[in-house]
Chains A and B, each alone.
Chain A
Amino acid sequence: MSDYFVQFNNISKFFGKVIALKDVTMKVKKGEIMCLLGDNGAGKSTLIKTLSGVHKPDEGEIIVEGEKTVFDSPKDALDMGIATVYQDLALVSLMSVTRNFFMGREPQKGIPFFKTFDIEKANKIAADRMGQIGIDVRDPSQAVGTMSGGERQCLAISRAIYFGAKVLILDEPTSALGVHQASVVLKYIVKAASQGLAVILITHNVHHAYPVGNSFTVLNRGKSLGTYSKKDLSREKLLGMMAGGEELDKLEVELKEMDRINKSN
């Protein structure tokens, strides 16, 4: 058995004539944060959906803990401990912190047919778990709508961990957040990894990915540009590899050229 918890080997996915993913390979160890970077349209969403069991790959194999696996549904992936936190977070803003935390997996008590949702226990666990991240939930019955974006993100992650995630796939967890909120979330992600989780962090923000990541896979137009560990890759090189990097260099040259022409006139 290899020391990688999950391996995705040569994954390809086609939608009709469109090649959404071609030969994408990536792997992640326990306790490691693997950052998946790519510009819009690079195939990140398709890859996440393939990893989490929504799409079946047309080619390639998924190996979990050394065994080849096929996910027929998101539930299969979840049962293997692969939990995905989507951008919409699967939180209902009108519902309380506790009710969201245990949504779909409510603890029950009482006799059969008269089982009740054990709210006291649920409140305690939810407040406790949020407290561990340093989010002081004053009242676990407050609506999630009253929480900040970062707090919601942390709630969704903490929920996934509580319910037994071993691999955490995070879809753009910092994209909608301000600098401070983003750093709170990133800190929490590092903490989760240090406790032995394998994390796949999907983002297009190099400045968020570089400080926390152990290895980096860059996607461009459905293909992987390779996986690099942090010591082999500078931040600048990573920035350059992102689709925008090259184009931004070109833009700079063009702007200088325009500037020169303007001056000479």
Chain B
Amino acid sequence: MSEKSKSISSKKSSIEDERLKKVSNLKILLNRPELGALGGSILVFIFFGIVAGDTGMFSAYGMLNFLDVSANLGIIAIAAAMLMIGGEFDLSIGSMIGFAGICIAIPAIYWGWPLWISILFAFAMAVLVGYFNGILVVKTGLPSFIVTLAMLFILRGATLAITRLITGRTQVPGLRVLIENDPIAWVFATDTFKWLFTWLGSMKLIELRTDGTPLATGIPPSVIWFILLTIFATWVLMKTRYGNWIFASGGDKVGATNVGVPVGKVKISLFIGTACAATLFACIQVLDAGSADTMRGTLKELEAIAAAVVGGCLLTGGYGSAIGAAFGALIFGTVSMGIFYTDVDTDWFKVFLGAMMLIAVIFNNFIRRRVTESK
């Protein structure tokens, strides 16, 4: 080949490259799964900033309030998102929350177990439930939608029946006194950065009670867990081999199996993940409230899936992000609390939730088509 033609061809390719680079930069931004949820979060904050900016929603106390709600939802939404990326659903998350709650409360109150052993027991049960869900889905090849729907009823029913059998009631109070001096419970029940709030209060920068102590006393444990989980899940998904396997398992089960990805193990571990996230949710709420309620967590599985979808997860699997799910949870938490600060009737919250999800699904579908069909 002559030198001349070589230079011509290289010139040509460099011109083409420049053109493509411009497109691909925009594409990279547009193709990020969390883009929609990030934009949505910004819009929600702008909206409430205008409508409820002067109501106390954005005071330290108000912010911790909606962050706490978002964080609780976020904990299960992130696990649900990872499972969705892996190509499956878990509809038993909400029931698992109720079940985990009584797994902590009944041994601790009625059987005299130390609280920390009860907590470990609840997590052990979560691993069992998650493993059972996972192995059923993997071995039978049935849709996880059906398998976990069955588990939704089984767990909720068992929770009610067992609790009534042992206690004669459907609620188990009296946990608060057990938290003190327990070697583990503080992990789920301690407000952090109290010194910061005391200092802010002393500087008169945040609202105070009549006795001079700050109204907001510290960052609730849910928020800390939520942030740690978001970082951990993102690291796993983007930076580890296991993360690649999650995307592969959800994107193309057969293909992934053919190149040696242990799809079954990946899916089972993700089901264990959602059950454990539900248990973490239950720990935080049960220790905060001081009582376990058999109906706790009802419909939470759908909110978690909605947050994951708003966060960019495709219902068909193989695509999504943990940060997106975190922003999805932030949107729902902010709106569900923020609506109290506006003149809008709170009945409208569900309408918003549904509309938001619909928009997200349409948007996600568009993104998927861009990614898979542009050639």
- Which residues of A line the B interface, CB within 8 A? 74-75, 78, 86, 88-95, 99, 102-106, 108, 115-117, 119, 136, 138-139, 141-143, 145-148, 159
B94 interface residue per 8 A CB criterion:
no
- Tell me the complex Cα distance, A103–B262, Å: 11
Total A-B contacts with CB atoms under 8 angstroms apart = 93
CA A147 – CA B375 in complex, angstroms? Answer: 6
Minimum CB–CB distance for A80 against chain B, Å: 15
Q: Is the CB of A103 within 8 A of B259?
A: yes
| B47–chain A nearest beta-carbon distance, Å | 32
In the complex the two chains form, is A99's CB within 8 Å of B371's CB? no
Contact assessment for A89 and B247 in the assembled complex, using a CB-CB cutoff below 8 Å:
no
Using Cβ atoms and an 8 Å threshold, which residues of chain A touch B243?
A: 117
Residues on A with C-beta less than 8 A from B247 are 92, 94-95, 99
Once the chains bind, are B239 and A117 in contact (CB under 8 Å)?
yes
B6 at interface, CB cutoff 8 A: no
Q: For B170, what are the chain A residues with a Cβ–Cβ distance below 8 Å?
A: none
A139 CA / B261 CA spacing, docked (Å): 24
- B20 part of interface (Cβ distance < 8 Å): yes
Q: Give the interface of B toward A (CB within 8 A).
A: 13, 17, 20-21, 24, 28, 31, 239-241, 243-245, 247-248, 251-252, 254-256, 258-261, 314, 318-319, 368, 371-375
Smallest CB separation, B154 vs chain A (Å): 33
**Contact between chains at A143 and B372 (CB < 8 Å):** yes
8 contacts between A and B (CB under 8 A): A90-B254, A90-B255, A91-B255, A99-B244, A99-B248, A146-B375, A148-B375, A159-B259
- Please name all residues of chain A whose beta carbon is closer than 8 Å to the beta carbon of B24 when the two chains form the complex: 138-139, 142
Say whether B372 contacts A103, CB under 8 Å.
no
Q: Is the interface of B mostly helix, strand, loop or mixed?
A: helix
Point out the residue from A104, A115, A138, A146 that lies within 8 Å of B371, measured CB to CB: A146
Given A93-B372, A138-B24, A88:B255 Cβ within 8 A: yes
Closest to B242 in A: A117
Expressed in whole angstroms, the minimum distance between the Cβ of A228 and any Cβ of chain B is: 32
A104 near B245: Cβ-Cβ < 8 Å: yes
Residue in A closest to B255 when the chains form the complex, CB atoms: A90
What residues of chain A lie closer than 8 Å to B244, measured between beta carbons? 95, 99, 102-103, 106, 117
Q: Is the CB of B239 within 8 A of A103?
A: no
Within the complex, the shortest CB–CB distance from A93 to chain B, in Å, comes to 5
Query: In the bound complex, what is the Cα–Cα distance between A141 and B238 (angstroms)?
Result: 12
Chain A min CB distance to B35 (Å): 15
Which 8 residue pairs are nearest across A and B when measured between Cβ atoms? Answer: A92-B251, A90-B255, A145-B372, A104-B260, A106-B241, A104-B259, A90-B258, A104-B261
Q: What is the distance, in angstroms, from B357's C-beta to the closest C-beta of chain A?
A: 21
**In the complex, which residues of chain B have a beta carbon less than 8 angstroms from the beta carbon of A143?**
31, 371-372
> Which of A99, A106, A147 is packed against the most chain B CB atoms within 10 Å?
A106
Distance in angstroms from B201 CB to nearest chain A CB is 39
Closest to A100 in B: B248
Contact A138 B374 (CB under 8 A): no
Task: Contact check, A138 vs B258: say whether CB atoms are below 8 A apart.
Answer: no
**With A92-B255, A94-B319, A143-B371 given, can you name 17 additional A-B contacts, CB distance below 8 Å?**
A74-B258, A78-B260, A86-B258, A91-B255, A94-B368, A94-B372, A95-B244, A104-B256, A104-B259, A105-B260, A108-B241, A115-B241, A136-B17, A138-B17, A141-B28, A142-B24, A145-B374
Closest to B368 in A: A94
Cα(A235)–Cα(B261), bound, Å: 42
Q: Which of B248, B251, B260 contacts A75 (CB 8 A)?
A: B260
> Which residues of chain A have C-beta atoms less than 8 A from B240's C-beta?
115-117
Complex alpha-carbon distance, A139 and B20, angstroms: 10
Tell me if B373 and A145 are in contact (CB < 8 A): yes
User: Roughly how many angstroms separate A178 CA and B256 CA in the complex, as a whole number?
Assistant: 27
Q: Which residues of B contact A94 (CB under 8 A)?
A: 247, 251, 314, 318-319, 368, 371-372
Which residue of B28, B258, B259 has the most chain A CB atoms within 10 A of its CB atom? B259
